[in-house]
Structure 1
């Protein structure tokens, strides 16, 4: 995948006027920073042999809740706490349904995402686009401005990547996630608390998704809550699969997410410069995703164990 990214980047640099400029490179990275953070969340789940289709709802609803509560006169710390608790609740529900009720992740997270999105529209938000307010003053620095010349959104992606890397590679819980993803039955026999680990990975994914929502809201000074109806979840899956994280679980890491994010960012930026219509971009992304999934199936074949209950 890194070779594909390098070849695509080189081709665009040579043949697309205006692609290889400092301003365009910063724009490219800014445009995919939130997508990269969501890719980290999805990676935690996929490494543990799952999938989370509720990520976009976890991005939009808690983030929108912060803006709405501040609009209604609540303090910013209280609003952030409420959003964090909502994100944890989303992860706990997903984890319980998958680990204890043994609902397949695809259906559990799809249902949870629809419920959370509907809850936001029916009970939490007054408008589809929740606007910034004076009580949020200063918080926009999370997504705007720069640190040492680097846009803040890119710095937030880097911080999230470092945190997830440390979790997966330097902690016992990270090792447990890999073990459960590689073979949940063997992990359970060796004494690893498989079900709590599954719950943990979905809670982490929802919290990271909430963080991505806050960065996004701070970047544009609003939260378009109907973003859960967009194709963004497919872009997140593209980041993970194209980055080389096997859907059969137990493989991959933060480096794969970074490669996938750069590849998707380069592809989207190139298509924008080429003035390809949005529908055409979706068509191309769909074909690329299909090829990536077929390639993943060939490179990471699912044996008899991975075909059992608990698989994606």
Structure 2
């Protein structure tokens, strides 16, 4: 490594010369890691505290039936959070995830029930979802339109297409032809709800992908500094497209888990506040909206806290309006904390020219 000869303040570190700039960068990295770990630890402690308070204050909260129901419900939230985390780590966001979960899943169920066959229907639905991801990625990476607007428009358009085009009803029942996939969310495996097993497998898979594959590490690099990643020769635009495709496919898996658990897919779910719950899980857990930070553990602790709060508010019989108000306040606080703990570098804030 070459250093400026005019700099006489270099110091030895482990037998190597380390410039003040590099020492500063290393120190900043260590501080960011400490902040991230602190945030995850704080969120986990809040989860434990909230769980204890609800156990004491709410009759039936800690009953086996309620805990199983809560785990089933947050498993879908966790799967969607893992998909969203991949995109956010790459310095994007996907507001179309709920629509991508509902419409392609309902399409699969409709086709399978109409006699197309399970596997052809599944293939068509997955290809449809992948196409949505490709379009999201192309508009963000190549047309350089902000991801917020692209995915919002894509979600609205996909929801409208489902309502007036490819689906006959808002509520699509689970067809007998798909019973081979019923184990995804409607069964128990060794006494454990299968949806919990699925979200665990997805979490392990996403962790391996992000931490132990070249593409996963590239996503972190792109999220941290897209211009820097481009100058090192990384295929930035294709990777950005890929992360949206991967998020869309994960969303379909979440849809199959939900549909098999409830024996139907209510496509009106994209009109609810689920997308904000997903963002809350991701940001609250420590995945920085500035990109390049967070991981699977962030999503896990965020899901546990948010899922527990939602379950407690449901037991309290709070109206949806009150629940949304509370979640909105928490989300606003989480975003504000994220902007403080993970400030965006203005020099690398633009996604253009990558």
The more displaced of 289-298 and 125-134 is: 125-134
Shift of 1:21: 2.8
Count residues with an aligned counterpart: 311
**Deviation readout 1:126-181 (Å, 9 max, x if unpaired):** 11111222322332221111001100111111111111111001111100000000
Q: Does 1:278 align with 2:344?
A: no
For 1:309 and 1:93, how far apart are their aligned partners in 2?
17
Q: Does 1:45 align with 2:87?
A: yes
> Which one of the candidate residues 119, 126, 131 is aligned to 2:161?
119
> Which one of the candidate residues 277, 293, 313 is aligned to 1:235?
277
The match for 2:50 is 8
The match for 1:141 is 183
**Deviation readout 1:178-199 (Å, 9 max, x if unpaired):** 0000000000111111111101
- The two structures have a TM-score, normalised by structure 1, of 0.97
- The two structures have a TM-score, normalised by structure 2, of 0.85
Q: How does 1:88-99 map to 2 (within 5 A)?
A: 88-99=130-141
Shift of 1:115: 1.6
Task: Please tell me the root mean square deviation across aligned C-alpha atoms, in Å.
Answer: 1.4
Shift of 1:70: 1.5
For 1:101 and 1:170, how far apart are their aligned partners in 2?
30
**Deviation readout 1:57-105 (Å, 9 max, x if unpaired):** 1101110001110222110000000011011101100010000010100
Shift of 1:306: 4.1
Gaps of 5+ in 1: none
Q: Secondary structure at the match of 1:130?
A: strand
The more displaced of 160-169 and 115-124 is: 115-124
Q: Does 1:84 align with 2:126?
A: yes
For 2:273 and 2:127, how far apart are their aligned partners in 1?
26
For 1:144 and 1:300, how far apart are their aligned partners in 2?
39
Q: Secondary structure at the match of 1:137?
A: helix
Shift of 1:2: 1.5
For 1:19 and 1:131, how far apart are their aligned partners in 2?
30
The match for 2:108 is 66
The match for 2:78 is 36
CA contact (8 A) 2:226 2:351 kept: no
Q: Secondary structure at the match of 1:138?
A: helix
CA contact (8 A) 1:248 1:306 kept: no
Q: Secondary structure at the match of 2:347?
A: coil
For 1:74 and 1:292, how far apart are their aligned partners in 2?
45
The match for 2:262 is 220
For 1:149 and 1:86, how far apart are their aligned partners in 2?
34
> Which one of the candidate residues 159, 164, 188 is aligned to 2:206?
164
Q: Does 1:204 align with 2:246?
A: yes
CA contact (8 A) 1:47 1:251 kept: yes
For 1:229 and 1:181, how far apart are their aligned partners in 2?
30
Gaps of 5+ in 2: 1-42
For 2:103 and 2:244, how far apart are their aligned partners in 1?
16
After the TM superposition, list the runs of 4 or more consecutive aligned residues in structure 1 that deviate by more than 6 angstroms. none
The match for 2:308 is 266
For 1:15 and 1:171, how far apart are their aligned partners in 2?
45
Q: Does 1:195 align with 2:237?
A: yes
CA contact (8 A) 1:246 1:300 kept: yes
For 1:295 and 1:121, how far apart are their aligned partners in 2?
38
Q: Secondary structure at the match of 2:91?
A: coil
Q: Secondary structure at the match of 1:74?
A: coil
Structure index of larger Rg: 2
